[in-house]
Amino acid sequence: GAVVSQHPSRVICKSGTSVKIECRSLDFQATTMFWYRQFPKQSLMLMATSNEGSKATYEQGVEKDKFLINHASLTLSTLTVTSAHPEDSSFYICSARVDRENTEAFFGQGTRLTVV
Amino acid sequence: QQPVQSPQAVILREGEDAVINCSSSKALYSVHWYRQKHGEAPVFLMILLKGGEQKGHEKISASFNEKKQQSSLYLTASQLSYSGTYFCGTERAGTDKLIFGTGTRLQVFP
C-alpha cells in the first residue's frame, strides 16, 4: 500500500511556542490530505482538509489561525500549532488517499505533542 | 455529525465472536473499518461501497445496509491480535472527508 510519513513522532514544547508537523506522501501524489486530532481514549476528530495549492478547509470549531496548514506540494502538507498551550497537547495524525473516493485512507505514524 | 458505535467496549476470550455496530444519522456513500493499537496509527481493515454489501477479510467480515445507514463488523474466533480500538469511518457522497465513529475498544484475553 501507499506510504504516508509523519514527522516528528514526539515533540515537547514550551507554552507560547509554535510547533510544525510534517506529513509526506512517499510514493504517490496527494492533492488532498487530512489532519486529525485524537485525545486519549477518544476518536479521531477531523480538524481540516489540506488542499494542494489552495487554502485548507477547517471543520467547525477549529481555529484556523491557531492551526496553520500549508500544502505547498503534491507530497507535503504541514500543520503548525501556533502559540501552543497545554490544552493543545494531543495526538495529531495526518492521512491521505490515492483517489478522492472509494479507497482506503493511509495514515502517518502520528505526532504526540506535549505542551509544558 | 459523528457516527455512533456500539458497544463502547467488548471483552472476549480467545475464540469468541463479537459484533460491532456503526450507525449514522446521515446518508452514507461508503463505510470504512479500521483498527488502532494504542499510540499507533489506524490500520485499514476494509471498505464497503454498496448498500447490502458484505466483505470478508480472514475471520473479520462486515456488512453495510445503505438504507438503514448502518454497518456491522463481525469478528469470529477472536485472536489476541484482534485487541485494539475499532473505528468505522464514513463518507458522504460528493465529499472525500472520512469521519470516524465513536470507537469500540476490544480486548481479547487468553
Strand, coil or helix: B17: coil
Q: How confident is the model at residue A52 (pLDDT cuts 50, 70, 90)?
A: confident
CA distance B12 to A74: 44
β-bridge pairing B9-13 and B104-109: parallel
- Return the HEC string of A76-113: EEEEEECCCCHHHCEEEEEEECCCCCCCCCEECCCEEE
Beta bridge pairs of residue A87: none
> What's the grid cell of residue B56?
470478508
User: A11-38, pLDDT tens digit by residue?
Assistant: 999 999 999 999 999 988 888 899 999 9
Q: Give pLDDT tens digits along chain B (110 positions).
A: 899 999 999 999 999 999 999 999 988 888 999 999 998 999 999 989 876 666 677 789 999 988 889 999 999 999 999 999 999 999 877 777 899 999 999 999 99
Residue type, B69: Q
Name residues 90-109 of chain A within 8 A of B (Cβ): 91, 93, 95, 97, 100-109
> What's the grid cell of residue A37?
486530532
What residues in B contact A43, CB-CB < 8 Å? 2, 87, 100-103
Residue type, B56: G
CA distance A89 to B3: 25
